[in-house]
Amino acid sequence: MLRKDVVASVRSDTNVIVASYDRSQLQQTGTGHFSPLAAYHTASDRVLIMDVARFKYPPHWVTLRQLQVAMCSLDKSTKRTRGYVMLQLRTDSMPLIAFALKSNLGSNDADFATAVLSWKEFLLCDMMPDEKEELQLCCRKFGQCFSPHALCSSEKDVMVDKANNYRDSAESLSKACRTVCSEVRQTSIAGVFSSSAVAALMLAWPFEPGYSERSDRLAQLAKQELKSFSPDTRNEIDLLTTQLLTLIECSRPPPVLPGKVNSEPSKCQWHSDACCCINDIKL
């Protein structure tokens, strides 16, 4: 049964197996762990484990028998054996068809981690009194941080690379791509950017509630814009948010900053010479 399920999943574009196994059974450090299976080699009866903790172990091959033994190990907390789960792409889902983070980004990308830190520092700064200037400032700062990491796919790329992997035909994907781009371009945020991909990335940014007044204001603006989007565009933004959350969570060093402390003076006054906003960006 396990071999049959593994073969079926690696041959599928919509299914994946995630194994729960005991690392120690594979002569690795640690105990319980989850990772997806990406490939199966028939001649050697081995599976390729795409270890999610890549800083610890790169993708590696193990025999199906070794994996089975590791999955049959007892979990000390539940007193039950481990196993695997088969996940399937929802039939009503769509791929990222217009925008994405560049494919060479990874959890060890120092430039991305630095960009996140710079953006989160900026969010802690005091807001400008003029709403229009405030929005322009925020958009330009975001573009300064993330434009090198945003990717916009052409309709031709979408049709050639993705048409055969999803339920939609090339024609419907092309139509959806035009809709997504058009709706993003109509937002107040996109008016400041020359790139729709950067605008989409800002709309998808996972703002933390209560992080700062500026952050909450931008989150509310993005939320209002999302209400007018079609299902395809909302799906696009949701997928971008998932990508961002994953990279932010895994970035090294972790781009985490302390919240704003009311008892301390603001680190930024919009009219001050020391303000990083004024130094970074000229309106």
pLDDT of 159 above 70: no
Instruction: Give SS3 for 242.
Output: helix
Predicted TM-score of the model (pTM): 0.57
Could you give the CA distance from residue 134 to residue 151 in angstroms, rounded to a whole number? 25
pLDDT of 156 above 70: no
Domains and CATH numbers, the chain: 1-88 (3.90.70.30), 99-251 (no CATH)
Q: Is 50 exposed, middle or buried (0-12, 13-18, 19+ CB in 10 A)?
A: middle
Instruction: Give SS3 for 282.
Output: coil
The model's confidence at residue 253, banded by pLDDT at 50, 70 and 90, is low
Q: Average pLDDT in the 213-237 region? A: 91
Q: Average pLDDT in the 91-113 region? A: 64
The model's confidence at residue 262, banded by pLDDT at 50, 70 and 90, is very low
Among residues 25, 8, 20, 11, the alpha carbon closest in space to that of 85 is found at 20
Q: Is 256 exposed, middle or buried (0-12, 13-18, 19+ CB in 10 A)?
A: exposed
Q: What angle do CA 215, 216, 220 make, to 5 degrees?
A: 120
Contact 207, 192 (CB under 8 A): no
pLDDT in tens, 193-222: 877 888 999 999 999 999 999 999 999 999
Could you give the CA distance from residue 208 to residue 259 in angstroms, rounded to a whole number? 10
